[in-house]
Each structure stands twice: as C-alpha cells, then as structure tokens.
Amino acid sequence: MQPLPTTFVEAPRLSALTGAEVLLVSETFQHGGSFKYRAAHHVASHVAASTIVCASSGNFGQAMALACKLVGKRCVVVMPETSARVKIEAVRALGATVELIDTRVVTREARVAELVAASPGAYTASAFDDPLVIEGNASLGRELAGSGRAFDAVLVPIGGGGLSSGILSGLRRAGSEAAVFAAEPALANDAARSLREGRRVALESEPRTIADGARTRCVGVHPWAILKDGLAGIVEVSEEAIGRAVYLAFAHANLKLEPTGALAIAALLEDPARFARRRVVCVCSGGNVDADLYRSLLETYAPA
C-alpha cells in the first residue's frame, strides 16, 4: 500500500490573520494519520531483513507496524510501560509485538539493541536518522514541487530532522528553490542551537514540550548533513503559540491537528514579520491527538 498523496487545504482566514499567503499541506489523512507512513513504507519495502525493530510510543511505531504488516515482515516496537493504553493497543492491533520497558531501568536504545542481538539479521529502524527515512519523506517534497502551485517558502516541524531533511532534498531534486524553514518548540531547541553553533547540539534531557513528536534530544547525523547548509532558518515557537495554532487550525481551517502537526502554523504566529506577504506552505505533519488533550487545548485557546 503506497503512501497517499498529501491533502492541500486553502486557508484564507489564516492568511488574513498572519499576513502571509498561507497554504496548508496536511498529512493528517495519510495512512496512520501522520507523515510517518512515508518513511515506514520506504524502510519496510527496501530492507532485506524479515524483522524490523524500533522504539516509538507515537506515530512512527504505528506507521512501522502497518508498513511491516503490509509487506509481511515481523515488527517489534519498544515502548515505555507508561505509554497510553490506546497507543499500545493500536500497535498490537496492527500485528506488531510490543516490548514494554521501564525507562528508569533500561533506555529504549539499549532494549532495541538487546532485541536486535537476539534476532540476528533484524533491522533497527530509526524514526529519523536513516537515509531510507529521509528518502521516504522526500516524496512529500517531490509532491509539493510537482503540485503546480507557486510558493516562496515551506515551513516544516522539526524533531529529529527526518521530515525537514526529506522535504528539502525532495524539493531540490525536483528543481524547487523554495526556502525551507523549520518550526521547533523553544523548549526543545536543539536544532536551532545546532544551526547557530554550526554543529549538532544535544539537549541534556528529554524536553517537555506539548509537541510530543519533537521531543528528540538531538537532530540525527543524516538529517544534519542535509539541513546544516540547506535550511533557510529555524523559528523557535512557544508552547502558547503551539496551542493557539491547534485552535486556529480548528476554527479557521476545519483541520484537526496534533500539537506537533501545528508547529508550522505556530511559527507563522510567532514570527509573522518574517513571512508577511510571502506565499508560505505550512506542513501539518499529523493529527493524532487524544480527545482529552484536544478538548483542553480548545478550551484554553478559544477566545472567551
């Protein structure tokens, strides 16, 4: 099952609000509800191994489980035992084996290494630091470049850098010179600090941003090689801008986004001057958010 084409959503009301000419590109209707299936499908269909092991309590684990199921591979997903029950069940429902760990006792990486050692020939799938992941995500850059739509800039959420580096390389190979900006939670600004220092900088501990897809401590080696000279800039966004972006996508574009998926819109709110009057594509990377959290964001950020 190939990845689905992305969904373009016009957003005149967000344009009026931000001063940019905004076009939303939504991966919320992708298989699994986020862009992650693009990479997972590419990995599952390109590695020879019959078993794939990964660590993810979020969208990547589900996407990998789905992709493995479809190509007939075994999939093992390492998740903290504190993960939401609904996420654990979703991965199991897709036929994957879930390995629950107590993160106070063993790290995800260590448990993945143990499992791979116990299953010779198994492939360790990183959610972002893998050329196959970047190549899978590049399909979205190619789609944008080939869409026939004109744009000056693309705003992309950044966590480990797999999506932004993929879009960047996909755009460039398809001949687009549009500027690519990353949108990163200020609480998890390893990528912004890396760009300033010209080298990969890691956070001391896992950041607590509400954008759970961007809680990586450091940009991956492979994404960094593409991003360090390719990115036009990184906008660091406040938690408040993220929450407000989730609300505005709901109220002004009928789009249900998870906090990470709203980072690009949040960047427009955070730094409108930078994008004023430019034709900006905001990549909305995913929509999987619990009803409880979503309700509380609507309650907090809707104007009284």
Task: List residues binding a second copy (CB under 8 A).
Answer: 4, 7, 9-10, 28-29, 31, 33, 247, 250-251, 253-256, 287-288, 291-292, 294-295, 298-299, 302
Is the CB of 54 or the CB of 66 nearer to a second copy? 66
Report angle CA 246, 223, 208 to the nearest 5 degrees: 40
Is the CB of 33 or the CB of 162 nearer to a second copy? 33
Let me know: does 257 contact 35? Beta carbons within 8 Å: no
Least distance (Å) between residue 81 CB and a second copy = 22
CA 140/CA 174 separation, integer angstroms: 11
Strand 153-157 relative to strand 74-80, pairing: unpaired
CA 124/CA 104 separation, integer angstroms: 22
Report angle CA 26, 30, 34 to the nearest 5 degrees: 75
Least distance (Å) between residue 125 CB and a second copy = 22
Least distance (Å) between residue 298 CB and a second copy = 5
User: Tokens 């010209």 map to which residue?
Assistant: 198
CA 91/CA 65 separation, integer angstroms: 6
Is the CB of 31 or the CB of 193 nearer to a second copy? 31
Least distance (Å) between residue 151 CB and a second copy = 17
Task: Give the gyration radius of the chain's Cα atoms.
Answer: 18
Is the CB of 225 or the CB of 293 nearer to a second copy? 293
Least distance (Å) between residue 39 CB and a second copy = 19
Torsions phi, psi for 22 (to 5 deg): -95, 130
Least distance (Å) between residue 293 CB and a second copy = 10
Let me know: does 56 contact 129? Beta carbons within 8 Å: no
Let me know: does 187 contact 156? Beta carbons within 8 Å: no
Is the CB of 253 or the CB of 282 nearer to a second copy? 253
Let me know: does 95 contact 72? Beta carbons within 8 Å: no
Least distance (Å) between residue 247 CB and a second copy = 7
Is the CB of 32 or the CB of 220 nearer to a second copy? 32
Is the CB of 31 or the CB of 200 nearer to a second copy? 31
Least distance (Å) between residue 140 CB and a second copy = 17
Closest CA to 79 of 87, 69, 68, 71: 87
Is the CB of 53 or the CB of 284 nearer to a second copy? 284
The DSSP call for residue 130 is S
How far is residue 200 from each of residues 51, 172, 183, measured CA to CA in Å?
A: 31, 23, 17
